[in-house]
Structure 1
Amino acid sequence: MDPASIAYLGSIDYLVLVALFVFSLLIGLYFAWKDRNKGTNEFLMGGRNLSPFPVMLSLIASFLSSITVLGWPAEVYYKGTQIWITLLSCYVEVFLTSEVILPIFYKLNLTSVNRYLYERYGSNFIMIMVSIVGCIATFPWLGVVLYGPSLALGAVTGLSVTASILLCGLICTVYTALGGLKAVIWTDVLQYFLMILGIVVVIVKGIIDTGGVAEVWRRADLGGRLRLFDSKIDFYNSHNQWTTLMGTTLVWTAGLSTSQALLQRTLSMPTLKKAKMVVYLALPGFQSMQVLVTTLGVVAFAYYYDCDPLRSKKIAASDQLIPYFVTDLFSSKYPGLPGLFVACVFSSTLSTLSSAFNAVAAVIWDDWLKRCFPKASVSAQVTITKIIAALAGLVCIGVAFLASQAGTLFEASYSLSGSPLGPAFAVFILGIFAPFVNSKGAIIGYLAGQITCVWIVIGGLVIKRPILSLEVSTEGCSANTTYLEPGLLVSQLKDYRIPEYHPEGIAKIYHVSHFIIPAIGFLVALIVGILFSLLTGCNRDKCVNPDLVLPCLRKYCCVKNDPKKCNKFKKHQMKQNDISETIPMKS
C-alpha cells in the first residue's frame, strides 16, 4: 500500500471521536446511578417497561454492524447491486417474528430465549447446549466485528489498530457493564443517528464530486454494476437472487426472532402489542439502511470507475475501500467530516458489541448461574451479571487481537454469525411447528446441523476458494501509477460477468456460498430432528404445553389415547380463550 494514500485524522476529527466515546460513557454512568438499587430484571430487561421508539432505533442499530457499513458497500463495488434483493427478506423476517414467534415467547415472560427450549422439550441439556454453543460462536464473530473495522480504518487513516480495538472494546465494556440494557438502548439511539448522518454526508459529497445523480448512474451502468436481477440458480455464486434471498431470509429471521441480542429488546416491552409495534416500526429502518449502504457502494464505484484503488495500490484489501473513499473525499479541506464517518463506523461497532455483551450476560445468568445462587441477594445478582458482561467484553477484545479474516469482512460475518444460527433456529422452529418432535430428536438434529456447519466452515478456511468479482478499470489512472495488475478498459466493463465457479472434489461442499452454509445447517437439523423423533416414538409419553406451539396445532399436543391428559388439555384450552393478549408481568 502506498504510504502517500494515508490521510491522517486531524484534531477536529479526533474531537468528534472523543465526543462519541464520552457521551456513551456518560449514558452508562447515568443508568448505573439511576438503577443502582434495582435487580437483574432492570439490568437485563430494562424493567420490561421501555418505550417503543428508542427500542426500535436500538434494534436497527444492533442489527446493522460495522461490517454492514464497511463490507456491504465494498460487496456492491466489486460484485454489483444484486444484493438489493435482501430488501424482500425484511418482510419475511418481520412477519414471522411479530405474528408467529414473538406471541409465543412473550407470554412465557422470558429473560433468556433459550428458556423456551427447556419448557418445550423438558430438557436442561438442550437448553444448556444451545446456550453454550451460542456463546462460544458469538466471540469469534464479535472479534471480526471489532478487529476488521479497526484494521481497515487504521490502514487508511493512520489510527493504530491496537488503540482502536482497546478504545472501542473497553469503552463499550464499561458502559454496558455499568448501565445494562437501558444504557445499551440509549447509546444505540445516539449511535444510530451518527451512523445515518455519517453515511448520508459521504453519499451526498460523493454524488456532488462525481457530477450528480445522473452521472453516478451512468458510470455505474457503464461499469456493469447495475444488475438488479440474476435468476440463475448457483449455490457457489453469492450474487444471484435465489442464493442471496435464501441466505439473508434465514439468517435475519433467525437473528430477529431467536437471537438473544435482538429478541431481548422486544421482550422488554410492557405489552405484546408494543413488542409487535417495535418490530414493525423497525422494518423501514432496516430497509433504509440497506438502501443507504448499497447506494454508498454505487457512489464509490462511480467515483473510481476508471481507476480502482485496489489495482493502483492505494489500498491493500477491498475492506479498506470505504475508509479510503471517505478520506479521499474530504481530506484536509473538510476538518471534522472524516472524523464523523469514523465515528459512524465506531458507532456501528459499539451498538453491535454492547447488544452482544448484554445478551451473553442474560444467557449465562438465566440459563446457567441463576440456579446456582438461589439465595443470592438482589445486589449480589446484579453484581454477578455486571461481572459477566464485563468479562464478555474482555474476552471479545482478546479474540479481536487473535482474529483473522475468513475472506472479506462481509463473508466472515455470515460464516461466523450465520452458521451457528441455522441449526439453533431449526430447533426453535421444530418446537413451534412440530408438536410431535421430542427432546431426543431436537438434540440429535441440533448436533447434526452444528457439526455440518463447523465442518463446512473449517473446510473453507483450510481449502481457500478463489475470490471472484466483477472486473475494474485502471484506464484513467495517471501514467506513473504502479499497478498491481492492469484492469479492463472502461468500455469493456458493462458486458463483463462474474466468472462461473465449478469446484471439484470435496471443494464442492467447502466452497458453497457463505449465504448457503446457515441454510444447510438449518435443513440438516430440521430433517434429522424430525426423523429421529419419529424413530424414538415422538411425544408418546407426555403432553406438550399448548402455549409453546402454533395455535392451529395445539389440538395435537396431547396423547389421544390418554383420557386424563386429553381432559386436562381441553380445560387448558377453555381457560386460554379467556386470557387477553397482554399478560401481566410476573413479580
Structure 2
Amino acid sequence: MNPVFVGVILSVYFLALLGVSYYTSRNANNQTFFIGNKNSNWLLVAFGMIGTSLSGVTFVSVPGTVGTGGFTYFQVVLGYFLGYFVVAFVLLPLYYKLKLTSIYTYLNERFGFNSYQTGAIFFIISRTLGATARLYLVINILDLLIFHNDITKATNISWSFVAISVAILLMILAYTFKGGVKTIVWTDTLQTVFMLGALLITVGYILTKMNLGIGETWSQFQGLGYDNMFVLDINSKDFFLKSILGGMFITISMTGLDQEMMQKNISIEKLGNSQKNMFTFSVVMVIVNFIFLFMGGLLYMYAAQIGVDAKGDDLYPILAFQKMSPIIGVVFIIGLISALFPSADGAITALTSSFCIDILGINRNEKSELENSKTRKIVHLTFTLIFLILVIIFKVINDKSIIGLILKIAGYTYGPLLGLFAFGILTKHQIKDKLTLWVCLVAPIITYALSTYLEKAEYAYQIGIEVLIINGIITFLGLWLIRKK
C-alpha cells in the first residue's frame, strides 16, 4: 500500500481525534485529566472500554487462534463476563465509598504507605512493559505492511519504524495532553466505532465473496472442527474450568485492579451508573469477541479456498492486504489503529495519573493547581518518551520469543495486586507493612518456578491461564505470614 495514501488516512483520522480533544478539554484541570471531573457518561464509557480492552494485538491474534483451537478462546471470554460482575459488585462499591482518584490509595488506607507504593509500582511496571510490548508488535505490523509489503519479513530497525512510532506517540500525546480521561472517554468511543466497523465490514466482505449465509458458515465450521468451544481434558492447559476461572480472575485483576481500566469507570458520578456501564460493557464484550472468532473461522476458510497458506497472527493482515479488495486493506489499517490507540492512550494517561498521585503525592502536597499541572505534564511527556524508547529497544531485540516473555512478565505482576486486594477485602488482619514488597517480589518468582518445573518435568498437569490465580494465592499466603498478631 502506498505510504503517502496511508499517511493521508492517518492525518484525517488524527484530525478527527484532535477535534474531539479540543471540544472536551476546554477549561481542563488536573481533576479533568485524572477522573474527568466525575461527570462521564456511563454509556460512552461502556462503549469506549471495548476499544481499551481489545488491543491491536487482539485485533489480529484472536481470529488467528481459530485455526488450531477453534472457538476455545470463548471459554476465557465467558470467564471475563463473570469477572465483570465481581468488579461491579465488589470493587466499584469500594472505590466509590472511599472516593478514590487512584485505586491504589485503598492499599494505603487498609495496610499502610509501603503497601500502597508497592501496589502502584507493580501497576506502573506491568502496564509500562505490557503496553509498550503490544504497541511495538502493532507498529511492527504497520511498518512491514506499509513500507515492506510483507508481514512475514524479519527486518532490522529502520527509519520507517521509528517514524511510525514517533508519529503515533505524538498523536496520542497531542490529544490526551490536556483533557486526559475526559478526552479519552470520547476518543475511545469514536475509535471503538471504527474498530467494530472494520470487523463487520471484513465479515460481510468474506461472506459475500464466498456466497455464504450465517447458518451455512456455521455448518462448515462444524465440519472443520472450528466450532469446538469447550475442552474437557482436565490436564489440558485449555481445560474449560481453568479457562473460565482464569478469564474471571484476569478480569478482576487486569480490569478491576488496573488504574487504566478503572480510571474511566470512577469518572462516572454515581456508583449505580458505573455498575450499569460495567454490565453493558460485559455483554457487548462477549458478543464482540464471538464475532472476532467467527471472522477468524471465515478467514481460514477463505484462505483455504484461494490457496493461501497463512495462519496465526499473519492470517488477517496477509489476506486483508494481499488477497482482498484494496478497500479492505484500508479498513484493516483503520481497524488496527482504532484498536491500538485506545489501549495506548489509556495506558499513558493511567501511568501519568498513578505516578503523579501515588508516587509523587500530587494530591497530598500543598502546591498550587498550576504547579501540580506543570508536574503532571512533565510526567505525561516522560512516559511518552519512555514508551518510544522501549518500543525502539524491542525492535532492536526483534525476537518474538523475547517479546512474549516480556508480556508474560507483565502478566505475572498482577498476581501480587490480586493477593493484596483480596487479603484486604477478605480479612480484617493488618500486616507488617514494610515486608509487603518482599512478599510481592517472591510470589511471582515462586509461581514462575512452579510453572517451569511442571513444564520441564512433563507432568500430566500443566499450568495455563490459571497462573494468575496461583500467583495471587501465594501472595495471599505470604501476607498471612506477615500479619500482625
| Normalised TM-score (structure 2) | 0.88
Question: Pick from 443, 454, 457: which aligns with 1:449?
Answer: 443
Relative distance call for 1:524 and 1:301 in structure 2 (3 A) is same
Opposite residue 161 of structure 1, the aligned amino acid is F
**2:456 aligned partner:** 504
Shift of 1:12: 5.5
**1:127 aligned partner:** 116
The secondary structure found in structure 2 opposite 1:178 is coil
Opposite residue 385 of structure 2, the aligned amino acid is L
**1:142 aligned partner:** 131
Counterparts of residues 105-116 of structure 1 (less than 5 Å): 105-116=95-106
Q: Distance in 2 between matches of 1:305 and 1:382?
A: 56
Report if aligned partners of 1:74, 1:297 keep a CA contact under 8 Å in 2.
yes
Report if aligned partners of 2:71, 2:227 keep a CA contact under 8 Å in 1.
yes
Opposite residue 452 of structure 1, the aligned amino acid is I
**1:245 aligned partner:** 244
Shift of 1:116: 0.2
Q: Distance in 1 between matches of 2:22 and 2:240?
A: 46
1:77-101: CA deviation from partner (whole Å, max 9, x where unpaired): 3322111113321332121111112
Question: Pick from 12, 17, 25: which aligns with 1:19?
Answer: 12
**2:177 aligned partner:** 177
1:229-267: CA deviation from partner (whole Å, max 9, x where unpaired): 2111225x3x33233223221111212211100111111
Aligned length: 469
**1:230 aligned partner:** 231
Q: Distance in 2 between matches of 1:224 and 1:215?
A: 14
Q: Distance in 2 between matches of 1:75 and 1:231?
A: 18
Higher relative contact order (CA 8 A, sep 6+): 2
Relative distance call for 1:96 and 1:401 in structure 2 (3 A) is same
Opposite residue 163 of structure 1, the aligned amino acid is A
Relative distance call for 1:375 and 1:527 in structure 2 (3 A) is closer
Relative distance call for 1:357 and 1:525 in structure 2 (3 A) is same
The secondary structure found in structure 2 opposite 1:226 is coil
In the alignment, structure 1 residue 35 sits paired with structure 2 residue 27? yes
Relative distance call for 1:165 and 1:512 in structure 2 (3 A) is farther
Question: Pick from 429, 441, 452: which aligns with 1:436?
Answer: 429
**1:529 aligned partner:** 479
Relative distance call for 1:114 and 1:35 in structure 2 (3 A) is same
The secondary structure found in structure 2 opposite 1:81 is coil
Q: Distance in 2 between matches of 1:76 and 1:412?
A: 23
Q: Distance in 2 between matches of 1:343 and 1:53?
A: 23
Relative distance call for 1:64 and 1:399 in structure 2 (3 A) is same
The secondary structure found in structure 1 opposite 2:292 is helix
1:468-487: CA deviation from partner (whole Å, max 9, x where unpaired): xxxxxxxxxxxxxxxxxxxx
Counterparts of residues 13-412 of structure 1 (less than 5 Å): 14-32=7-25, 34-36=26-28, 38=29, 40-121=30-111, 123-158=112-147, 160-213=160-213, 214=215, 216-234=217-235, 237=237, 239-305=238-304, 309=308, 312=309, 318-332=312-326, 334=327, 337-370=328-361, 374-403=365-394, 404=398, 407=401
**2:468 aligned partner:** 518
Q: Distance in 2 between matches of 1:193 and 1:131?
A: 32
Q: Distance in 1 between matches of 2:439 and 2:329?
A: 49
Shift of 1:215: 5.1
Shift of 1:175: 1.6
Relative distance call for 1:218 and 1:161 in structure 2 (3 A) is farther
The secondary structure found in structure 2 opposite 1:158 is helix
Opposite residue 201 of structure 1, the aligned amino acid is I
Structure 2 stretches lacking a partner, 5+ long = 149-159
Structure 1 stretches lacking a partner, 5+ long = 1-7, 461-501, 538-587
Opposite residue 124 of structure 1, the aligned amino acid is F
Report if aligned partners of 2:79, 2:243 keep a CA contact under 8 Å in 1.
no
1:363-405: CA deviation from partner (whole Å, max 9, x where unpaired): 1111121269823211221121122122112211211122255
**1:549 aligned partner:** none
Shift of 1:31: 3.6
In the alignment, structure 1 residue 427 sits paired with structure 2 residue 412? no
Shift of 1:445: 3.8
Shift of 1:157: 4.0
1:167-204: CA deviation from partner (whole Å, max 9, x where unpaired): 22221122222321111111101100000000110111
Relative distance call for 1:284 and 1:412 in structure 2 (3 A) is farther
The secondary structure found in structure 2 opposite 1:113 is coil
Relative distance call for 1:293 and 1:62 in structure 2 (3 A) is same
**1:567 aligned partner:** none
The secondary structure found in structure 2 opposite 1:232 is coil
1:65-87: CA deviation from partner (whole Å, max 9, x where unpaired): 11211111111233221111133
The secondary structure found in structure 2 opposite 1:110 is coil
Report if aligned partners of 1:216, 1:302 keep a CA contact under 8 Å in 2.
no
1:414-455: CA deviation from partner (whole Å, max 9, x where unpaired): 624432112211110110111125245755543332333566
The secondary structure found in structure 2 opposite 1:305 is helix
Report if aligned partners of 2:66, 2:297 keep a CA contact under 8 Å in 1.
yes
Opposite residue 167 of structure 2, the aligned amino acid is L
Relative distance call for 1:407 and 1:291 in structure 2 (3 A) is farther
| Normalised TM-score (structure 1) | 0.74
Relative distance call for 1:154 and 1:357 in structure 2 (3 A) is same
Opposite residue 182 of structure 1, the aligned amino acid is K
Looking at CA atoms only, which structure, 1 or 2, has the larger radius of gyration? Answer: 1
For the aligned residue pairs, the C-alpha RMSD in angstroms reads 2.9
